[in-house]
Chains A and B, each alone.
Chain A
Amino acid sequence: MNASTDRESRNSTAGPKMTISGASKRYDTRSGTVHALDRVSLEVRDGEFLCILGPSGCGKSTLLWSMAGLHGLSSGEIRLGPSKIEAPHPEIAMIFQEANLLPWRNLESNIALPFELKRTKPDRARISRLLQRVGLAGFESKYPRELSGGMQQRASIVRGLAVDPSVLLMDEPFGALDAFTRDEMNLLIQEIWMETGKTIIFITHSIAEALFLADRIVVMSARPGRIQEIVEVDLPRPRPISVQSTPEFIARVNDIKDMIDHRKV
């Protein structure tokens, strides 16, 4: 297990942004021990857009929450550069499913929350630039319930980016949105990634979404949660939404689908 990670780290030249080595997570439930993650090793390159794709129960959320320092591992370790991740790290921001805004705070004070928690002054200029960028300027005094699902998720992206992290972890962020809004958000996050050069690790169970966004797709299989395959995506950027209807794209979707189906049999 350790030997393989040594080999992997020697192979990379620039030095990985994040290193996951032999990450395992087991927990006991009434029906027995669940092997959520089984010896997952992975290197995340600096500035890449990495998608983690897999069926529900494959441990992809467990992996991401561990990378955020929110979960502990049963064995193995996760590093950001040289530092071991054991608790939330200021360089890492997390974007949750369904926006996760606090309903008792308006947009402005929702975005100010990370600064409040870190006891620093909000970077007003940066926040208003980001709000402008995602098309939410002028909505600062609105409450989450007054905003559409897409707007809420855009606000949560601003909240994550406001503290200027170098890694953005996104846990199925657009899963609850309708197909049109989802396309819109995928375009937006691609643009933001290209503009900011952040390292993004993005969880999804949509093959098309993963192919559209990712530089590399980590395909995971369930029970136990393992990395099954890592797929490089070399489609030119920026990718337009229409790329999803090209025969080549559809062929790639089917290839990945086959990988997952074969695994199940």
Chain B
Amino acid sequence: MDTQLRDQIPTFGAKQGADISLSGGLSSLSSGSNRTAFETLVIILVAVVIIGGAELLIALFEVPQYILPRPSLIAAALVSEWKFIWPHLLVTLYELLVGFTIGASIGFLLAAVITQFPFVEKIVTPYILLLVTTPMLALVPLLILRFGFGSEPRIIAVALASGPMVMINSATGFRRVDLAKIALARSFGASTLQIFTKIRIPMAMPMIIVGLMVGSIFGLLTTVGAEMVGGAEGLGNRLNYYSSMIRMPQFFAVITLLATIGISIYVFFFWVGKRWGSWDA
């Protein structure tokens, strides 16, 4: 059982249960090898107490359903409405996946190229920062005017929201040049392309993965937001629909789905990071 405080000094030579820095607390979600049966039990117990407690408290204080439905009602709504919700789930996932893939690819390539040329980087960075800090949702009405009510404006918004995130984090990774390692590869006759694939990409990998994680979460936010702004499809649209009908259990069922997507993305990149990006932990 690991009940040590994080800043407690471990015994010299003892193995520390260190996780990669970007998601230390997430080890409760992964099938970590250093988790004991007791810890698993406590984690499950806490989840049961929270959900059960919500159920009880909402019933006890007679909170009206249109403010906060009981967890059991939400679960029931998720099952009964599933056949109406899942096409919208697919639309949301499609928009997210396509938009993110486009945005992330462009962001990654831009980062890789731009960091090679410090002068170009100085020129481009302010615009990338502008894209990072401006909520891309604000562009959606404009995009709808131009591209109509289909998936295209949302895909563009998602690409615009996630691309710069991937770009800015990847660039940070690519900027961590270790001259000795590049000299090492050169001394064995490496080409520029080989230095890129064998040294620079692996060296930047931890930051690239952080960028992909943050970028995809931003993508999800933008997908749902864009669906709420306009159009007739997607989980965001369903949120508008169910809340306008005051069908709160269904509304929260959709929220539950969105939370599940978000956590799945996070866990996926956590796993990717553990596999490919944890060498500098």
Does chain B have a CB within 8 A of A180?
no
Q: Check if A96 sits within 8 Å of B189, measured CB to CB.
A: no
What is the CB-to-nearest-CB distance from B191 to chain A, in angstroms, rounded to a whole number? Answer: 8
Convert B42-62 into 0s and 1s, putting 1 for each residue whose CB lies closer than 8 angstroms to a CB of A. Answer: 000000000000000000000
Does chain B have a CB within 8 A of A116?
yes
Number of interface residues of B (CB under 8 A): 18
SS class, residues of chain B in contact with chain A: helix
| A88-B189, A117-B190 given; A96·B180 CB < 8 A | yes
Contact residues, B104-139 vs A (CB, 8 A): none
Q: How many A-B residue pairs have CB under 8 A?
A: 51
Segment of B86-94, B148-156, B197-205, B257-265 in the binding face: B197-205
Contact residues, B190-233 vs A (CB, 8 A): 190, 194, 198-199, 202-203, 205
Residue of A nearest to B185 (CB): A117
Residues of B within 8 A of A98 (CB): 180
Residue of A nearest to B189 (CB): A88
Residues of A within 8 A of B35 (CB): none
Residues of A within 8 A of B199 (CB): 102
Taken together as a complex, chains A and B put the C-alpha atoms of A34 and B178 apart, in Å, by: 23
Taken together as a complex, chains A and B put the C-alpha atoms of A143 and B202 apart, in Å, by: 15
Does chain B have a CB within 8 A of A65?
yes
Size bracket of the A interface: 20 to 34
Does chain A have a CB within 8 A of B279?
yes
Q: Check if A97 sits within 8 Å of B187, measured CB to CB.
A: no
Which of A92, A97, A100, A163 has a CB less than 8 Å from the CB of B181? Answer: A100
Which of A88, A116, A145 has a CB less than 8 Å from the CB of B187? Answer: A88
Contact residues, B164-202 vs A (CB, 8 A): 180-181, 183-190, 194, 198-199, 202
Taken together as a complex, chains A and B put the C-alpha atoms of A2 and B188 apart, in Å, by: 31
SS class, residues of chain A in contact with chain B: loop
Contact residues, A71-110 vs B (CB, 8 A): 87-88, 90, 92-94, 96-98, 100, 102-104
Contact residues, A214-235 vs B (CB, 8 A): none
| A103-B280, A104-B202, A104-B279 given; A114·B181 CB < 8 A | no
Does chain B have a CB within 8 A of A118?
yes
What is the CB-to-nearest-CB distance from B280 to chain A, in angstroms, rounded to a whole number? Answer: 6
Q: Check if B184 sits within 8 Å of A100, measured CB to CB.
A: yes
What is the CB-to-nearest-CB distance from B18 to chain A, in angstroms, rounded to a whole number? Answer: 11
Residue of A nearest to B190 (CB): A117
Q: Check if B187 sits within 8 Å of A94, measured CB to CB.
A: yes
Does chain B have a CB within 8 A of A36?
no
What is the CB-to-nearest-CB distance from A219 to chain B, in angstroms, rounded to a whole number? Answer: 26
Residues of B within 8 A of A250 (CB): none
Taken together as a complex, chains A and B put the C-alpha atoms of A96 and B181 apart, in Å, by: 9
Q: Check if B188 sits within 8 Å of A118, measured CB to CB.
A: yes
Residues of A within 8 A of B205 (CB): 104
Residues of A within 8 A of B184 (CB): 94, 96, 100
Residues of B within 8 A of A185 (CB): none
| A116-B198, A117-B198 given; A102·B187 CB < 8 A | no
Q: Check if A102 sits within 8 Å of B181, measured CB to CB.
A: yes
Residues of B within 8 A of A87 (CB): 189
Residue of B nearest to A65 (CB): B183
Which of A96, A104, A113, A116 has a CB less than 8 Å from the CB of B183? Answer: A96
Does chain B have a CB within 8 A of A18?
no
Residues of A within 8 A of B279 (CB): 103-104, 143, 145
Q: Check if B188 sits within 8 Å of A88, measured CB to CB.
A: yes
What is the CB-to-nearest-CB distance from B145 to chain A, in angstroms, rounded to a whole number? Answer: 47
What is the CB-to-nearest-CB distance from A104 to chain B, in angstroms, rounded to a whole number? Answer: 4
Given A102-B181, A117-B194, 4 other A-B contacts at CB below 8 A?
A70-B187, A87-B189, A90-B189, A104-B203
- Could you write out 5 A-B pairs with CB less than 8 Å apart? A90-B189, A100-B184, A117-B188, A117-B198, A118-B189
Q: Which 7 A-B pairs have the closest CB atoms?
A: A104-B279, A114-B188, A94-B187, A117-B190, A117-B188, A104-B202, A103-B279
Interface residues, chain B, with chain A CB atoms under 8 Å away:
180-181, 183-190, 194, 198-199, 202-203, 205, 279-280
Interface residues, chain A, with chain B CB atoms under 8 Å away:
65, 68-70, 87-88, 90, 92-94, 96-98, 100, 102-104, 113-114, 116-118, 143, 145, 163
